[in-house]
Amino acid sequence: LNVLHSELAKQLADTMILPIIQFREKDLTEVSTLKDLFGLASTEHDVSMAKYSRLPKRKENEKHKAEVAKEVANARRKQHLSSLQYYCALNALQYRKRVAMMEPMLGYTRGQVWATKLHIQGELDAEAEKMRISQQDLISVNESVYTPDSDVTSPVINRNLIQKAGYLNLRNKTGLVTTTWERLYFFTQGGNLMCQPRGAVAGGLIQDLDNCSVMAVDCEDRRYCFQITTPTGKTGITLQAESRKEYEEWICAINNISRQIYLTDNPEAAAIKLNQTALQAVTPITSFAKKHEAHHPSQNVKPTDNGKTTPSESAGIQDSTQLIALGTPIQFDIVLPATEFLDQNRGGRRANPFGESEDGSKDEEEDSLLQQMFIVRFLGSMAVQSDNTSEVIYEAMRQVLAARAIHNIFRMTESHLMVTSKNLRLIDPQTQVTRASFELATVTQFAAHQDNKRLIGFVVHLHETPGEESMSAYVFESNTEGEKICYAISLGKEIAEAQKDPEALAQLMKSVPFTNDGKFVLLNDQSEEDGATREEGEESEA
């Protein structure tokens, strides 16, 4: 019995204890060392990326920019090589641990242990050879692969993404006026934007993307910045991508996710169809009858046997080319910058924030019985050929929104739209500069979008020179329903018309309540809502 126990102890020591000690001291130590090297390379890469992210837009020092870009490329190459060695060791560890865990359990039979060793050693050699070839291929590639934003002129952008992952710089406020930028790993999961700091076991929720909006912003003289806004209009987070390709793909992916495409049976097909619809939206449609037929075929023009519409059924349908000429350019920014105080074309004036007026502007405002302000964002304007129907406004909205979607124009200028009984004025919210002014008599058509109630448009009829007239459609997005703006404009026209007849004016004044200073009371709940919206810093969801 003593001999049996001695032999058993020897077998256990040789076949179970010794392999475990060797596995711990050799294999795990190697992986731990490679992990430390990979961490050092990653830290060095982060430092170079932080230096690269701080590069300004100006092009005075191209040599410095080239040096920084080369430093980033070298850091990335070093990080890539160390990561490949680390991953190769991890993969090898997966095979070696089979042997290390199997030997103690199968130590009583050396034959099976050796057979297993030979089999696994063959797989390990094949995997090591495969990884070696991959490393050689990656080492021999061009340096431009590691250079950030190397394809800035013509990047290949995938606009149909429904999920995205990668590193972004997150803007954090550290004080009233100071901010810091932190480079973190972001990824989307369903309708959520997740973030996983280095060393964390799992990611955490950063932003719910359902029904949110995303737009490009200028932030601290940094490139490729964009901002995510909540459905309530509250400003969310500001992020910075490292290249134009990443910048545009992140914006497109968040925009697709916000429309809840990921909930459909085939999200990829839905995203492709959505982008194709945006491309087709700027293709001129022959008539509104055909556009309506695409959505409501049973309620539309019925073709005859030869495929032509009958005159009686197509009567009253106006061709879209009669409303807006083909190829009409779209202007996405008609308002002045905040630094310009006078508009040479429209003669805009700056309002004094202390209540004092210039050239009798205060008297003009006091004479107006109606003064209602709305927060709007300018989407675009274009010349039109007719103002006889509100369809011209709907067609202008369609073309402006489609052009913005195709050209990835997300930036919009916020203004205060002041509706009075004399004119419509666009006022800069920060400087109180009157950016644009339209006489109410020249506004010949106005309407809100039938589906998106926050879209509002109007047509202005101007007499530029004797005998020459021009009509332009202006499209805005409001913080509230466009019908309320239409109601204010309509009431302003009624007041202007009623002022010609004292009896009609008196009747109108009886039907609408007044404020303490003698102005018409309009949309009380709206004014409060606009005030709360301005305090929250409402942004666009277009």
Q: Is 276 exposed, middle or buried (0-12, 13-18, 19+ CB in 10 A)?
A: exposed
pLDDT mean across residues, the chain: 75
Give the chain's end-to-end CA distance (angstroms, integer): 86
d(CA 242, CA 219): 14
Q: Interior CA angle at 293 toward 291 and 296, to 5°?
A: 115
Non-local (6+) Cβ contacts of 27 within 8 A are 92, 93, 96, 97, 100
The model's confidence at residue 335, banded by pLDDT at 50, 70 and 90, is very low
Q: How many CB atoms lie within 10 A of CB 297?
A: 10
SS3 314: helix
Alpha helix stretches (DSSP H) within 55-205:
62-105, 110-139
Mean pLDDT lowest for which of 37-46, 366-375, 430-439, 499-508? 499-508
d(CA 44, CA 78): 9
Diameter of the chain by CA atoms?
126
58 pLDDT more than 80: no
Closest to 484 measured CA to CA, from 374, 349, 381, 384: 374
Closest to 437 measured CA to CA, from 458, 412, 457, 417: 417
Mean pLDDT lowest for which of 56-70, 240-254, 358-372, 461-475? 358-372
In terms of pLDDT, which residue wins out, 350 or 35?
35
When pLDDT is averaged across residues 261-284 and rounded to a whole number, the result is 69
Q: Is 105 exposed, middle or buried (0-12, 13-18, 19+ CB in 10 A)?
A: exposed
Q: How many CB atoms lie within 10 A of CB 398?
A: 18
In terms of pLDDT, which residue wins out, 519 or 83?
83
104 pLDDT more than 70: no
When pLDDT is averaged across residues 157-167 and rounded to a whole number, the result is 90
d(CA 68, CA 63): 9
d(CA 263, CA 492): 45
pLDDT of residue 5: 63
Cα-based distances in Å from 21 to 14, 26, 331:
11, 8, 74
291 pLDDT more than 70: no
Catalogue all structural domains in the chain, each as residue range(s) with its CATH number: 1-54+62-136 (1.20.1270.60), 165-278 (2.30.29.30), 371-511 (2.30.29.30)
Sheet holding 468-478, edge to edge: 434-439, 423-427, 413-420, 371-384, 468-478, 455-465, 443-448
pLDDT of residue 313: 37
When pLDDT is averaged across residues 259-280 and rounded to a whole number, the result is 75
164 pLDDT more than 90: yes
Q: Is 338 exposed, middle or buried (0-12, 13-18, 19+ CB in 10 A)?
A: middle
Beta bridge partners of 447: 457
For the chain, give the percent of residues with pLDDT over 90: 17
pLDDT of residue 111: 47
Global confidence as pTM:
0.40
> Burial code of 226-243, b = ≥16 C-beta within 10 A, e = fewer?
bbbbbeebeebbbbbbbb
The model's confidence at residue 128, banded by pLDDT at 50, 70 and 90, is very high
pLDDT of residue 6: 64
In terms of pLDDT, which residue wins out, 405 or 6?
405
Structure confidence by residue, pLDDT tens digits, 480-537: 788 889 988 988 888 888 776 666 666 666 666 555 554 555 544 444 444 444 444 4
Which residue in the block uniquely carries the two structure tokens 């590639």? 141
Residues 37 and 82: beta-carbon distance below 8 Å: yes
When pLDDT is averaged across residues 462-478 and rounded to a whole number, the result is 80
Would you state the structure tokens that stand for residue 84, as one six-digit string? 């490949």
Closest to 225 measured CA to CA, from 251, 188, 206, 258: 251
CA 304 to chain centre: 46
Mean pLDDT lowest for which of 120-129, 254-263, 316-325, 473-482? 316-325
